Structure 1
Amino acid sequence: MSCGRPFPVHVFPQVIKNAVYEVEQHTQAPQALIAASVLGVISLACQNRIDVCRLNNLRSPVSLFLLTLADSGERKSTVDKLLMKPLYQLEEEWFEKYTQELIIWRNEETTFSIEKKALMSKLKSDIRRNKDHSTTNERLKTLLSANPKTPVRFRQIFNDATPAAIKDYLSGCWRSIGLMSDEAGTIFNGYALNELPFINKMWDGAMFTVERKSEPDKLIKDARMTLSLMVQPDVFKKGYLERKGDTAKGIGFFARCLMCQPSSTQGYRQITSPVVSSEHLPVFHKRLMEIVNESIVRNDENARQCLRFSAEAEKNWIEFYNKVESEMGLIGFLSNFKDYASKMAENMARIAALLHKFNGDEGDISLSAVEAAVEISAWYVDEYVRIFSKPQTLLLVSSEADELYSWIKDYCYRCVVPYIRKTTILQYGPNRFRNRSKANELLSTLYSQKKIRAEKIGKTIFIQPVDILI
């Protein structure tokens, strides 16, 4: 696969940008891989504190689904450990606390069971002997009301849990989690992504009913889920795509994902200086944990702040939305990727809100946050198109596109018209371009090169060379 353009790290707020550069110094991993991991960490931290509001009070989560394709040896695990360090420490603290509470609960439960058994035995005896059992009955009621509560294991990070386990957890007392993995092969080959409609619902922040035959129904309401998965390209493409790719694309899972395949740095990781900076990651971690601790103290989905765009930022968001929409039509750059393009404006809004929140900015989402989000979103659009486009010989396509362009211009000159119908190309154009898919491919290339305009009137598509003078 050809190399994509560099990730626009420079648009990040200073604290994030410094952290990315410092992790890159320590690991020499691809910048895009580090940036994707950073976005996943920020999404996990912020998703339970904020939502984002767009036009007409459309409110949505800020959770991101990130999927990064990177070969073994790209130092995925090292990057993950550096950026997630305080979150992993918190998970350990929570588990230790849960373990201690579990020991106490088991002791209390043993005592409770003995007392309950004794009172029930006495109650049965009193009833059998026709004795007054009101006192025993009241004691039993009091005991049952004080039944020791099973301790809850709080956690934010899941690796390869089953959909059932994730559902049970989100229908409990904590409704913000991340499905995070630096080696997600087990996730793509396992159970976690077996129920993609459920995963999609979590991206949407929608309500979901959990039905069990032997248990009362449970309700997942207003939960939040971040996906940040790094997987080897062969595992994803030759394994998951072949087995479930059509399903994942068909129901919109891929459309929700920010996907990329960063260029490898292997073979270029030379040590030029043994001294690297170490002051920026602690600043990033400090801000990260400030937001996470807010979520722990105020674990209430109703307390989420809904961030809105400033007037300038909203104008910029609308321009991005309209640009994406225009590229979806006719023979635009995204005409073959309409499902993905339809989610990009919302993903861009989510990224803008995350950057605003993490940077500690007050008030409405700023223009600078939206401009940064536009750059990042546009980069992910290019990556998605690059990953899912059919392999082609670029030189040949360019040459064929130029040939078709010359024919179109010649036709317009000969007929003294400023445009040509697409059906005319299919009927009278060069023989090898009369195939509909081939013509669409070449017209799309010309459109992306801004050599032609396209307009649809009724059911007819009209093509106009941009530099023709009639």
Structure 2
Amino acid sequence: MMNNNQYTARPYPIGAFPIRIRLAVWEVLKNMQSPDALVSMEFLSAMSACAQALYDYESPTGSLRPVSLNSVLIAESGERKTSVHTIVAKPLYEFDELNMERYLEESKAYESQLQVWTSISKGYHRQLKKRAESQESNEDLLKLILEHDHGKPERPRLRRFIRQNITSRAFMDALDGDGEAITVMTDEGGVVTKGGIFTFQALLNKGWDGAALLAMDRSDGVSIVARNPRVAVSLLVQPSAFKELNDQRGENLRGSGHWARYLVGWPESTQGRRYTETLTLQWLHLPDFHQKMRDVLKEYAARRAAGITERKVLTFSEEAKHRILELVNKTEEFIGPWGYFKDIKDAASKAVEVMGRLAALLHVFTGEDGQISLVTLESAIALYDWHMNEFKRIFAAEEVASPAVLDAQTLENYLLRTVWNNGYNFVKKNYVRNNGPLRSALRMNEALDVLIQRGAVWIGKGYNNVSFINLIPTYFPGRMPGMLQPNLLGA
């Protein structure tokens, strides 16, 4: 079931990203002014696509797990999905382009080598035929033919990380061999949803799970065998395409646990609030993130060239392992009859697994040495918590929200964008009433009561008994650096 989305999404917890990643996320968000979750999830998908080929992590139970992330971001047309995707994933496309150029060069060399090999092979077989006709000994010639057959040139493979509209056969061909990794990634999700990848969701599930072996028997009698593959899916889809997919396959996608393997997000639109301050965009922090992506890709390519297919293994610190144990038990508590996860048990079953993957990726892209720390794990937990709430909001059985709760969400979003993101922790209550989304004193007070209960704000008195709305920093996400602070809040 897909909810009718009566609640709007909470602000994405960008402040939970480690600083090196956070600065790059804020920079893209500031320059592109797309929804916060759209930008943030593009970074997570890019990290996954880069790192899944090179890294695994060891769970507290000792099993090796992938760092692959599936994600689906739902956003209307005009949210600059293509622009954000192109900017963030740039090193991945550069890497695939270099592989394409190398493949074309290797293909030319292969054709030449194959022609020579074929000519020699034909010559040997002509000699073999003559000797057979004259009943001459051919043991030495048979030995030469066998040796020659072993030296047949190997057809080069086009290795690409990013795949778009792909069939089950092409999917398996891309993973054929040992240790291959692909991400079905597109900023036009309708192409993918109509292209059929969900017709082989069992393979996608096994790939995400880190299956040791995937196999497919072709009609020509040849089997395709993928050993230790890594698979991720990253979709940016419009609401209409997402609705169509769920109308057609939603029951099966939930029932098979496929959607449970995804980070989902449906953020509020930013259209109508995007104002341009300059035509020259500055990129100070994104290049640093891109360089880390390139370093990971370069190391992967070097290891493959050396014939190394085993992945590097990341481990958790003892503190982080104890925290994971707490998470396992807390999740079990939440899936009980009265628990928060009672109607999304499928997602809850994957929660700790996905948190571990997020922590491993954050560890890689912050450049930390040693084991995955408790601090990094807590960052991953904060990020996943937002996605878990989104999963419940989008997929769980619809709950009827009171007008006060809906108004509280509207007011929270206004305070985030107008007050918090402009560098302020407080604002006059009358200013918000006169300029904000809730002009009715009764509705605004009821909405404030909800936000006070959530721990988002508190009301204080200033000079001349003027009421102020104070924003609680631990509730709101980290601020975007370099934000303007116009004097328009009446403070």
The secondary structure found in structure 1 opposite 2:372 is coil
| Candidates 77, 97, 102, aligned match of 1:72 | 77
For residue 231 of structure 2, the aligned residue among 225, 235, 244 is 225
Which of 71, 83, 102 in structure 1 is aligned with 2:88?
83
Q: CA RMSD in A?
A: 2.3
> Relative contact order: is structure 1 or structure 2 higher (C-alpha 8 Å, sep ≥ 6)?
2
Q: 1:138 Cα shift?
A: 4.0
Partner of residue 133 from structure 2, selected from 122, 128, 135:
128
Q: Which moved more, 1:308-317 or 1:256-265?
A: 308-317
CA contact (8 A) 2:179 2:309 kept: no
1:26 paired residue among 31, 48, 63: 31
Query: How many residues are treated as equivalent by the alignment?
Result: 400
| Larger displacement relative to structure 2 (107-116 or 9-18) | 107-116
Q: Does 1:319 align with 2:326?
A: yes
Between the aligned partners of 1:50 and 1:90, the Cα distance in structure 2 is 18
1:235 is aligned, of 237, 241, 244, to 241
Q: Secondary structure at the match of 2:215?
A: strand
The answer to which of 283-292 and 96-105 deviates more is 96-105
Shift of 1:298: 1.9
Deviations 1:99-135 (A, max 9, x none): 1211222222223323322321231122112234345
Contact 1:320–1:374, Cα closer than 8 Å, also in 2: no
Q: Secondary structure at the match of 1:270?
A: coil
Equivalent pair of 1:67/1:260 in contact (CA under 8 Å):
yes
CA drift of 1:32 comes to 0.6
Q: Distance in 1 between matches of 2:310 and 2:333?
A: 37
Distance 2:376 2:155 in 1: 44
State yes or no: 1:50 paired with 2:58: no
* 2:192 aligned residue: 187
Alpha carbons of 1:200 and 1:301: their partners in 2 closer, same or farther (altered >3 Å)?
farther
Which residue is equivalent to 2:176? 171
Alignment CA distance shift 1:6-1:31 (3 Å) = same
Residue 392 of structure 2 aligns to which amino acid in structure 1? Answer: V
Residue identity matched to 1:387: I
Is 1:273 the equivalent of 2:286?
A: no
| Equivalent of residue 152 in structure 1, options 152, 157, 161 | 157
Distance 2:123 2:183 in 1: 45
* Other structure's SS at 1:193 match: helix
Alignment of structure 1 residues 273-312 onto 2, 5 Å: 273-299=278-304, 303-312=310-319
**Contact 2:48–2:67 (Cα < 8 Å) also in 1:** yes
**Among residues 357, 362, 372, which one is paired with 2:369 in the alignment?**
362
Cα displacement string for residues 335-356 of structure 1 (whole angstroms, at most 9, x for unaligned residues): 1111111111110111011101
Candidates 376, 380, 390, aligned match of 1:373: 380
Aligned counterpart in structure 2 of residue 384 of structure 1, from 367, 391, 403 = 391
Q: Specify the alignment match of 2:102 in structure 1.
A: 97
Unaligned runs of 5+ in 2: 406-452, 455-491
* Separation in structure 1 between the aligned mates of residue 384 and residue 11 of structure 2, nearest angstrom: 13
Q: How far apart are residue 145 of structure 1 and its match?
A: 2.7
**How big is the shift at 1:392?**
4.6
* Contact 1:352/1:373 (<8 A) preserved: yes
Separation of aligned partners in 1, 2:115 and 2:315: 53
Per the alignment, residue 116 of structure 1 pairs with: 121
Contact 2:69/2:232 (8 A) holds in 1: yes
Shift of 1:13: 1.4
Match of residue 348, structure 2, among 341, 361, 380: 341
**Aligned counterpart, 2:441:** none
Mapped to 2, the partners of 1:380 and 1:136 lie a distance apart of 67
CA contact (8 A) 1:222 1:301 kept: no
Are the equivalent residues in 2 in contact too, given 1:161–1:192 (CA < 8 A)? yes
The alpha carbon displacement at 1:383 in A equals 0.5
- For 2:329 and 2:142, the matched residues in 1 are separated by 70
**Alignment TM-score, normalising by the size of structure 2:** 0.77
Contact persistence 2:317–2:372 (CA under 8 A): yes
Once residues 403 and 267 of structure 2 are traced to their aligned partners in structure 1, the CA distance between those partners, rounded to angstroms, is: 26
CA distance in 2, matches of 1:303, 1:122: 45
SS in 2 for 1:57: coil
Q: What letter matches 2:361 in structure 1?
A: L
SS, match of residue 177 in structure 2? coil
- In the alignment, structure 1 residue 59 sits paired with structure 2 residue 64: yes
Q: Is the 8 A contact 2:207 2:231 kept in 1?
A: yes
Q: Aligned in 2, Cα 1:48/1:127: closer, same or farther, shift over 3 Å?
A: same
Which of residues 40, 64, 75 in structure 1 aligns to 2:45?
A: 40
Residue 26 of structure 1: how far off its partner (Å): 2.3
* Aligned partner of 1:209 among 212, 215, 228: 215
- Could you say if the C-alpha distance between residues 353 and 341 of structure 1 is closer, same or farther in structure 2, counting changes exceeding 3 Å? same
Q: CA deviation at 1:142?
A: 3.8
1:272 is paired with a residue whose SS is coil
Q: Secondary structure at the match of 1:298?
A: helix
Matched to 1:249, the amino acid is R
Q: Choose 303-312 or 333-342, whichever is displaced more.
A: 303-312
**Aligned equivalent of 1:408:** none
One-letter code of the match for 2:167?
T
Q: Structure 2 vs 1, CA of residues 392 and 142 (structure 1 numbering), >3 Å: closer, same or farther?
A: closer
CA distance in 1, matches of 2:390, 2:168: 29
Closer, same or farther: CA 61–35 of 1 in aligned 2, 3 Å: same
Distance 1:278 1:189, change over 3 A: same
